Structure formats: structure tokens, C-alpha cells
Chains A and B, each alone.
Chain A
Amino acid sequence: MSAAAPLTITGGRLVLPFGEPQLGGIRCAGGLITALGAVTAQPGDTVVDAKGKLIAPGLVDLGVFAIDKAAFHFGGITRAALMPDQNPPLDHPARVRFAALSGKPDLWVHPLAAATRGLEGSELAELALMRDAGAKAVATGRRWIGDSGTMHRLLSYCAMLELTVITHAEDAGLTGAAVATAGEMATRYGLPAAPAEAEALAVARDIALAELTGARLHFRQVTTRAALNLVRTAKARGLAVTAGVTPAHFMLSDTAIGDFRTFTKLSPPLRSEADRQAVREALADGTIDVVASGHDPRGPEDKRLPFADAEPGMAGAETLLALTLGLVRDGVIDLARAFALLAANPAALLGVPAGVLGVGREADIALIDPARPWIVNSDKMSASAGNTPFDKQGVEGRVMALFKGGSAVG
């Protein structure tokens, strides 16, 4: 990448960590940002006129289930943290090393090491070796670790290794085979359901163990008022606890599962409208730190099944930016905070020098037209499968150009 000509983008609006976007440009050389603001192109630079569009950091997508480069690039994602739920799982240093190189040069994949062998929740995997092979954090995978003793040992070990533990938060004993949140919708449709409190139970235990061990703990998705309150309180006490969410849980409530739409089958399942509102409040007040796509493309063989038999997950990479910008338009958050949720915070959590526009940072840059309207169409997605719960929905905000390490993508 350092072989590429330096890049100068002019005439844009810079998305900075605080405040409104600033008119200006950006210059990158050697894969890094070298100047911000009133920049002038040097001879030999590749010059791009941003034409008043946003110059924003490339998105850092924390917790994807597949490397789907076309979808990531459509969505302005330059770095993706890959969940260990692969086949075979990322529970071995060699697999981590392979995954870390799998997207280069135009997409950087940050593997998340499987917390336990085979993600089975019992024996610790070789976390230090995986860290040194390129794992940026540790994840429990799609499931919660039910055994409190195992979770305790995991957190204390990761505290020593200075690795953040990313966990799924649903008490497995309470959820059982549930595919929906207990309530009117699940009852009408006759779907196995579990109380929303399964999330708060898991969050409460894991916060207690994080406090005990001093570990950094990130809940990949927190989707209920009760659990968000626990996170809020833990943060107020100064614990190193963070929380994430995907757009599904601030856009949709469980009414969306109507007519057995398997594209809305997610893990954790969609919640009540009251919980959806709680997620939006938590995005506004800073309780939630990360918005991620949870990208999990699934073809008809996984989704064209009765609801309870279908696999959970959605293809979310392409809609991540536009749906988060919807929060800005709705006045829930401002633009700077949107990019903190989408880029700066996940980058900080992974410990990678990206996610903000700053001199010396990696030149991962998205040119974004925040007002450009488009319609989500599951038949015409860049993702390897079109399982979006937002099909036919009109959204605003589109990536016009993307640069990874100062080089144009695509």
C-alpha cells in the first residue's frame, strides 16, 4: 500500500470525533493520514474532489460471521472483526493467522479468538498463542458460557493477557430452544419463546465476574431495558464494560416476526417495542458503545424453513451505515457520535489505530453522501445472501468512495 501514490481529498466535510463536520480535506501518504483540514495536493498525488460529501473514517464492524468483501465495501466497512463461529472455529493459532490475512489488502480482518475449544464453553482455547497470531479480542461466539467457573477463569486469564472478552448475553438455561421473545407475538404464532429477562440474567453474572477479575468485557448485543440498566450502572461504577447492538434491535420490535418471516429471526431475538425504545435511549445517553452489522449472510437452505427451524442472523453490512445515519436524522444521536459507534469505539476496543480521522492514523476513509436515498432490495444485494429484514425499506446515506490505507477500493 505504501507503494501507492499519496492521496489528497479536497472539498469535503470532515467527520471529526466531536462537533459538526468541518469543511476541508485530507491528505494521506504511506497508508497513513498526514494532514487534515486545509490541505493542498502535492505534485504526484491522486486528487479526489469530495464535492461537499462527508469525509469519514472507514467503518470498523465488530463481530461479523462471514468475510463478505463486496457487502463490506458497499457499506463503507474497511475493517471487520470476525467472529470465531467459523467452520472449523477460530480456536487454533493457525486458523487465526489465516483469517487475519484473508481480506488484505483492501479489507482488514481482525479475528476474534474462540474463548473455548470448539466454542463449547468448557475448556479454554490457546488464547495467548492466538493473540500473538493476530487475534484482537476473545469471543464466546453465538452462545453464552453457561458455566460460571469457566467464565471466571476465562475473564481472569484475559485480564492478564489484556484481551477484551466479547460475550453473547442470554442465559441458556432460560432460553432453551426459544426462537422468540415471550410475549403476544410469540404466543399468537405459537413459537418457542423465552422471557427477555434471560439477557439481564446473563449480563448481571458477567458484570459481577468482570468486576471480580478486572477483565474488559464487551457485550456484543444488549437489547433489553433491564440489561441496559445493568450496563449503565456498571459503567457508572467505573467498570471496563461496554455494550453493542445491531440496527435490527433499534429499528424493529418483535412485531416484525409476523407471518413467520425468517429474515427477522435473530439471536438474540427481536424484543418488545418498549425494549426497542430502551435501546434508542441507550444509544443516545452513551450506554451503548458500538453499533455493528452482525453480518451473517444466509441462503435459502438456512432461511426458507419454518421459523423455528431456520438459522438466525441477517445480512447487515450494507445497511449498517444508512440505518445508523437514520438515528442522526431522527435526532437520537449526532453525526460525530454515529461514527464513534460505527468506527472509533470498535477500533479502540480492538486496539487498532483506525476509526478516527487523525494525523498518523491509518488512512481508512469513506466518502459518504448522507442524504442519498436508496431502497434496500434483498434480490440485488452485494452480500453473498440477501437475508435482510429491511427489504424494500427506503433509507438515506450511501458510500460514494472508499479508501483502505489511502488506496481506492473497488
Chain B
Amino acid sequence: MPAPVRPTADTHLPTAYLPQAFAVVMAPTLMTSPDARTSDRYPAGSAAFPYRDLIGLGGLAPWELLFLIDEAEQWVTLGRSAHKRDERLSGLTIINAFFENSTRTLLSFELAGKRLGADVVNMHVAQSSVKKGETLIDTAMTLNAMHADAIVIRHQSSGAVQLIADKVDCPVLNAGDGQHEHPTQGLLDALTIRSVLRTKGMGDEIAGLIVVICGDILHSRVARSNIHCLTTLGAQVRVCAPPALMPAGIEQMKVTPFHNFDAALDGADVVMMLRLQQERMSGQFIPSPREYRHLYGLTLERLAKAKPDALVMHPGPMNRGVEIDSNVADLPGRSVINRQVEMGVAIRMACLDVLTRKARGLEGWA
């Protein structure tokens, strides 16, 4: 029998501590101070994030999400400085095992590891023995035997990352598993929203925002992680897709489904567009790209139905002229697509830092 378990909690948050921790984190006076040291605002040590792995955002508490997001702030600052280097992961080995093609996410994880001083190696499926018939478990055992200090995994099958995590002794970071979750994307999107709100002097409360996620919800792990993250942080999430790309029972995830994009956009604070895969726009799900654009493309006219200062986001890579028009994607002050890329590196640095604290013997984490 496999041991299908949630991410292992190395240290359990004492139950008596939970409501108190929540109260501390959610206290508005403390929340609005971007410079507050995270150590002052979260349960001490590993109680702030009591998991060995980061497989998904589903099931995480609001303070656990905010802890990772807050931890990333320092790496945003570092990333903007001339000397983009911290040595805290010096001597550690991080393996990026990508069973599915990726350029941007892989680069982001590689930069994150290197900026923290770790030795980062990338394993691509094209170079691996998976193609020779080696099972996923054998690959996992092989990676484990190399004594990696963290493994970052992307795989085309939902649940594959959990399966590997159950077999290895080091922290595992999910960089996207099938149509299940892409947790760092969910976190970086929340960090992006908060960072822009702060820049604009609009506070930093995600709670209460109306966020529209539009596109291929059915096949999107980005949508799922964003739904978990944003609803947990108190946002109102609307999902918008044609029926064939809307998963059954999605309203059980505390979101409001829409088929009409204009209706979904009404009063929105944030518009998150998803990439439509080429193979899904050729008649199978959508009659044609131009028909998709006709119904779901984010144009300037459509954007006007959202709030006047609504943000435009896209996890990339974009199909310009299909799900998003170029003049929207490049709209100054509104499109934060490049900010998302920037925040991605910071979030991944935070995750790598937090998940390796136990191995590095940090006080309260070891």
C-alpha cells in the first residue's frame, strides 16, 4: 500500500496556538507594515510553515501562505540590488527535475537557487532515462541517492510530485504537476497583487478584491493554485471559461463560475488571463483562435468593464492576439505581467529558503 499522505508535518503547530497565531497575523495594524520582520508576526520557528514539502496550496492556512509571501519581500529587494547574491544555501544541492518542457519556470527556479548560493543542477526529461522506460519511482530513488537538499519537480501527471515526495528524504517543491497545482505561481501572483497595491498606495489587503481568472480552467494548474491561494486570503474569485473548459463542481472551490467574460469583468480588481494551449483551439474545445478571442480575448474595450485601475495578469507565455491583445498586455500601469516574472524568482527563493531551514539547522527549524 502506498502511503498517500499530505505533506509531512515535521513539527506540528500546537493546536492551542492556532487561533492566537491567526489573530496575530490577521491583525490589520501589523499587516499594513511592509517592513515588519516576519519573525515578529508568525509562530516561532517551523511552526510558521510546518511542512517538509510544498506540493500544493490547497489546505494551507492563510498565515502559512502569508508567511511564504512575506518571506519573499527581502528577495524582491535583493533582486533589485546590484549584488544579487546571498550565501545561505551555500553548499546545498538543488535538483530541478523537469519531466515536462519549461523554459520560464525552470529559469526562475535556477536563478532562485543560484542567488541563494546553492549548487543547482537541472534534469530535463529529454536527457533522462525516463524515456528508456525507467519508472518514476526509480527516478525518484536515483535522485534521492544523490543527496539533493531539495528537489524541484515538474511533471505532466497530476499527483506525480506527491508520489516522488513520498519516496525521497529531502524537501520537494512542486513546480507544476499535471492539472493539479502550481503552488509557486499561486504565491507569486498574490505577492504581485500585494506589491502593486503597495506601490500604488492602496494598502496591501488581498481580502475583498474581486479577481477574475479567465481561460482554460479545466486544464489549468495555475488556476487551481490561484483559487486556493486567493480564496484563502479572502479574495472573491470568479472563474470564466466556455463550458467545455470549465471543470465540474468548480463552485465547490468557493469561486463563482461565469461563461460570459463581460459579466465576469464587471467591477473586477484583477484580471488574470490563462494561456490557451494550441491543441485546444483547433476545433476540439474551441472552434478557432479567432472565435476564442471573440468571446474571451482581453481587449481594451473589454478591460473597460473592469474597475478603472484593474490589474492585468498572465502567467505566460502569452498568445498575443488570442487570449490577450498586445495593447492590453503592454498597457502601462495596468499590465503587471513582467512584475509577475520578477516576483516569481523572489517567491521561489523564499520557498527554497524556508524548506531547507531544517536541513541547515536553523534555530527553531531543526
Contact = CB atoms under 8 A, between A and B. Distances in A.
Nearest to B246: A187
A235 B131 CA distance: 51
A159 to B, nearest CB: 38
A64 B346 CA distance: 54
B250 A306 contact: no
Chain B interface category by residue count:
20 to 34
B157 A308 contact: yes
Contacts of A188: 58, 224, 252-253
B249 A307 contact: no
Nearest to B178: A190
Given A259-B5, A259-B162, A183 B155 contact: no
A173 B1 CA distance: 33
A98 interface: no
A342 interface: no
Contacts of A189: 158-159, 180
B364 interface: no
Given A190-B180, A301-B135, A263 B1 contact: yes
B247 A193 contact: yes
A154 to B, nearest CB: 31
A157 interface: no
Given A191-B158, A262-B2, A263-B1, A306 B178 contact: yes
A341 B121 CA distance: 58
A379 B1 CA distance: 7
A189 B157 CA distance: 11
B252 A259 contact: no
Contact of B1 (A258, A301, A386): A386
A190 B2 contact: no
A40 B181 CA distance: 69
Interface string A165-183: 0000000000000000011
B27 interface: no
Contact of A187 (B136, B177, B249): B249
**Interface SS majority for chain B:** loop
B283 interface: no
A183 B2 contact: no
Contacts of B252: 184, 187-188
B249 A184 contact: yes
Contacts of B224: 188, 190
B248 A261 contact: no
Contacts of A391: 1
B179 interface: yes
A185 B247 CA distance: 10
Contact of A307 (B5, B157, B221): B157
A188 B228 CA distance: 10
B137 interface: yes
B163 A187 contact: no
A25 to B, nearest CB: 41
A308 B250 contact: no
Interface string A377-391: 011000000100001
B342 to A, nearest CB: 27
Contacts of A303: 2
Nearest to B2: A304
A285 interface: no
A261 B2 contact: yes
Nearest to A305: B136
B2 A186 contact: no
Contact of B181 (A190, A261, A262): A190
B242 to A, nearest CB: 16
B12 interface: no
A274 to B, nearest CB: 13
B160 interface: yes
A308 B158 CA distance: 7
Nearest to A261: B4
Contacts of A308: 157-159, 178
Contacts of B247: 182, 186-187, 193
Contacts of B137: 300, 304
A260 B248 contact: no
Interface in A44-73: none
Interface in B2-17: 2, 4-6
A305 B135 CA distance: 8
A20 interface: no
Given A305-B135, A305-B136, A306-B136, A187 B157 contact: no
B248 A187 contact: yes
Nearest to A392: B1
A180 to B, nearest CB: 10
Contacts of B159: 189, 191, 260, 306-308
A276 B163 CA distance: 28
B237 to A, nearest CB: 14
Nearest to A191: B158
A195 interface: yes
Contacts of B178: 190-191, 306, 308
12 contacts: A182-B249, A184-B248, A184-B249, A184-B252, A186-B248, A187-B248, A188-B252, A189-B180, A259-B5, A305-B135, A306-B155, A306-B163
Given A190-B180, A259-B162, 14 more contacts: A184-B252, A184-B253, A188-B253, A189-B159, A190-B158, A190-B178, A191-B179, A260-B162, A301-B135, A306-B158, A307-B157, A307-B158, A307-B159, A378-B1
Interface of B: 1-2, 4-6, 58, 135-137, 155, 157-160, 162-163, 177-181, 221, 224, 247-250, 252-253
Interface of A: 182-193, 195, 258-263, 300-301, 303-309, 378-379, 386, 391
Please give me the 8 A-B residue pairs with the lowest Cβ-Cβ distance, nearest first: A190-B179, A260-B159, A306-B157, A184-B249, A190-B180, A259-B4, A182-B248, A187-B247
